């Protein structure tokens, strides 16, 4: 069954731009077939939107550049069938029942520039899921109500990524390390997620504060937890978290201070005690010596007297000798 192509101005415009910029003209269609319930045109666009499909369409033209399978109930993107389409530039999988995508799903789509995975039932994005997509410019992944985990290195290799939209998912935290390194990134959608505004997410909050121009819908990008920050914008709490998360000390710090305090106290006590002992011993020694001197004075006064005399004699002898 052939259907009239549905108007989709935005995808066509993007495709036109991509074709122009890459300087590629339409290559001859290798397969002349067209999947059941889809419309294929000579622009290498395959349109299968809203056809109650439950599986990925078969018999796709190998040279397909644009594939639209949105508004169906497709549960899986089969890596083998998808990766035959090595000329694919535009892929719209929005509003389906996809639960999982992996590194092999997009293994060979090196020309893919636009990918839409919105309105699905994805729950997590693993490392390297988008790794092979070296040309990816725009990634839309909104409205997956159970999507709560995106691996820190999920976007590391997408150097051409300009627009990333992960709005209205179930994300509480996002490690921005890989995003910070993307040279072309100019827009990021984060709104409608239950963001955690605790120290674990401090970097994200601070980034939203510093680079607010990059964030679409920033007013809707608010904290979902903790309770006392609910509804506050991430940009607002950025600076607050910066100070909050760095002034408080960890339990190891407290332990360290207690240990240091104890060492100082112990050292003080020991040195005071030693000082006391030394003082007592010294006093006793002085006393003993005084007693000894007194005893000696009493017993030999006569014996002491000649000594100064002899000393004086010897001294005068020495001086005379030198002169
Ligand atoms: C999703 O697709 C169904 C048809 O399969 C349609 O009725 C519904 O409006 C679509 N939802 C969105 C958000 O596009
Ligand atoms: C969102 O995540 C929370 C845990 O962070 C979970 O309890 C909740 O069920 C999730 N929501 C959906 C729709 O999966
Ligand atoms: C973010 O990810 C990077 C690389 O995986 C890691 O080194 C860093 O510790 C992470 N940051 C947070 C706050 O988890």
117 shares its domain with 263: no
Domain termination site, one of 136, 166, 189: 189
Domain total for the chain?
A: 2
Q: What is the pLDDT of residue 298?
A: 64
User: What's the predicted TM-score (pTM) here?
Assistant: 0.71
In a domain, 31, yes or no: yes
pLDDT at 282: 86
pLDDT band at 1 (very low <50, low <70, confident <90, very high): very low
Return the best residue to mutate from 119, 122, 145, 146 for the ligand 2 pocket (most ligand atoms within 8 A of CB).
Answer: 146
- What is the pLDDT confidence band of residue 32, given thresholds at 50, 70 and 90? low
Q: Taking 50 as the threshold, does the pLDDT of residue 3 lie above it?
A: no
Are 81 and 171 part of one and the same domain? yes
Strands 187-189 and 215-216: parallel
What is the rounded average pLDDT for all residues in the chain?
82
Q: Are residues 161 and 285 both part of a single domain?
A: no
Considering the domain architecture, whether residues 13 and 157 belong to the same structural domain is answered as yes
For 52-94, how does the pLDDT look when each residue is reduced to its tens digit (9 = 90+)? 999 999 999 999 999 999 999 999 999 999 989 999 999 999 9
> Domain check: are 23 and 172 in the same one?
yes
| Residue 285: per-residue pLDDT | 86
Query: Residues of the chain with pLDDT > 90: what percent?
Result: 47
30 and 155 both lie in a single domain: yes
User: How confident is residue 128, by pLDDT bands cut at 50, 70 and 90?
Assistant: confident
> Does some domain include residue 45?
yes
Q: Tell me if 226 is assigned to some domain.
A: no
Which of 19-28, 113-122, 168-177, 224-233 is predicted with the least confidence, judged by mean pLDDT? 19-28
Residue 4 in domain: no
Domain boundary among 130, 163, 189: 189
Q: Which two tokens stand for residue 52?
A: 């109650």
The two three-digit tokens of residue 58, written as one number: 């078969």
CA of 201 to the centre of ligand 3 (A): 11
Q: What per-residue confidence (pLDDT) applies to 31?
A: 53
Q: Is-contact 138 162, C-beta < 8 A?
A: yes
Both tokens assigned to 289: 């010596």
* Structure tokens that stand for 133 in this block: 């997509």
As a whole number of angstroms, the distance between CA 105 and CA 132 comes to 10
Residue 157 lies in a domain: yes
Examine the pLDDT at 17 and tell me if it is beyond 90: no
Per-residue pLDDT band for 4 (boundaries 50, 70, 90) equals very low
d(CA 310, CA 178): 97
CATH code, 140: 3.80.10.10
Q: Do 55 and 164 reside in the same domain of the chain?
A: yes
Q: Tell whether 277 and 181 lie within a shared domain.
A: no
Instruction: Give me the pLDDT at residue 21, please.
Output: 42
User: Domain range spanning residue 285?
Assistant: 256-322
Q: Please indicate, yes or no, whether residues 39 and 164 belong to a single structural domain of this protein.
A: yes
Which ligand has the minimum distance to the alpha carbon of residue 92? 1
pLDDT value, residue 287: 87
The angle subtended at Cα 28 by Cα 27 and Cα 31, nearest 5°, is: 125
Ligand 3 in contact with 152 (CB < 6 A)? yes
Whether residue 23 is found in the same domain as residue 158: yes
Whose CA is closest to atom 8 on ligand 2?
146
Q: Last residue of a domain, which of 164, 189, 214?
A: 189
175 located within any domain: yes
CB 268 near ligand 2, within 6 Å: no
- What's the pLDDT at 26? 40
Q: Tell me the average pLDDT across 273-284.
A: 88
Q: How far apart, in whole angstroms, are the C-alpha atoms of residue 114 and residue 234?
A: 28
CA–CA separation, 115 and 90 (whole Å): 6
> Within a domain: residue 204?
no
Q: How far is the CA of 263 from the centre of ligand 3 (A)?
A: 36
Q: Does residue 200 lie within any of the structural domains? A: no
Would you state the structure tokens that stand for residue 92, as one six-digit string? Answer: 């719209």
Pocket test for ligand 2, best of 144, 145, 170 (most atoms within 8 A of CB): 170
User: Which residue, chain included where needed, has tokens 């390194």?
Assistant: 181
3-state secondary structure the chain: CCCCCCCCHHHHHHHHHHHHHHCCCCCCCCCCCCCCCCEECCCCEEECCCCCCCCCCCCCCCCCCEEECCCCCCCCCCHHHHHCCCCCCEEECCCCCCCCCCCCCCCCCCCCCEEECCCCCCCEECCCCCCCCCCCCEEECCCCCCCCEECCCCCCCCCCCCEEECCCCCCCCCCCHHHHCCCCCCEEECCCCCEECCHHHHHHHHHHHHCHHHEECHHHCEEEECHHHCCCEHHHHHHHHHHHHHHCCCHHHHHHHHHHHHHHHHHHHHHHHHHHHHHHHHHHHHHHHHHHHHHHHHHCHHHHCHHHHHHHHHHHHHHHHHC
Together in a domain, 185 and 283: no
The β-bridge partners of 116 are 92, 140
* Domain identity same for 60 and 169: yes
């Amino acid at each position: 069954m052939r259907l009239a192509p549905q108007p989709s101005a935005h995808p066509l415009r993007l495709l036109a731009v991509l074709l122009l910029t890459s300087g590629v003209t339409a290559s001859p269609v290798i397969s002349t077939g067209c999947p059941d319930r889809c419309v294929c045109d000579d622009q290498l666009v395959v349109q299968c939107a809203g056809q109650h499909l439950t599986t990925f369409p078969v018999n796709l033209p190998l040279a397909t550049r644009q594939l639209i399978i949105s508004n169906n109930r497709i549960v899986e993107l089969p890596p083998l069938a998808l990766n035959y389409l090595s000329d694919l530039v535009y892929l719209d999988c929005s509003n389906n029942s996809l639960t999982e995508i992996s590194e092999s799903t997009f293994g060979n789509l090196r020309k893919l520039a636009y990918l839409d995975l919105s309105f699905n039932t994805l729950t997590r994005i693993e490392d390297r899921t988008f790794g092979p997509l070296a040309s990816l410019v725009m990634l839309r992944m909104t409205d997956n109500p159970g999507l709560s985990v995106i691996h820190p290195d999920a976007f590391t290799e997408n150097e051409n990524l300009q627009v990333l939209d992960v709005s209205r998912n179930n994300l509480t935290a996002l490690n921005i390390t890989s995003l910070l390194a993307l040279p072309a990134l100019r827009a990021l959608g984060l709104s409608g997620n239950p963001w955690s505004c605790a120290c674990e997410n401090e970097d994200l909050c601070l980034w939203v504060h510093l680079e607010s121009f990059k964030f679409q819908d920033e007013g809707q990008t608010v904290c979902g937890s903790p309770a006392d920050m609910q509804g506050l914008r991430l940009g607002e709490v950025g600076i607050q978290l910066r100070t909050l998360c760095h002034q408080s000390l960890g339990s190891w710090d407290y332990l360290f201070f207690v240990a240091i305090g104890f060492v100082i106290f112990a050292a003080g006590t020991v040195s005071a005690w030693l000082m006391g002992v030394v003082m007592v011993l010294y006093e006793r020694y002085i006393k003993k010596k005084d007693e000894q001197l007194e005893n000696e004075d009493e017993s030999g006064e006569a014996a002491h007297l000649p000594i100064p005399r002899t000393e004086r004699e010897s001294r005068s002898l020495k001086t005379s000798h030198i002169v």
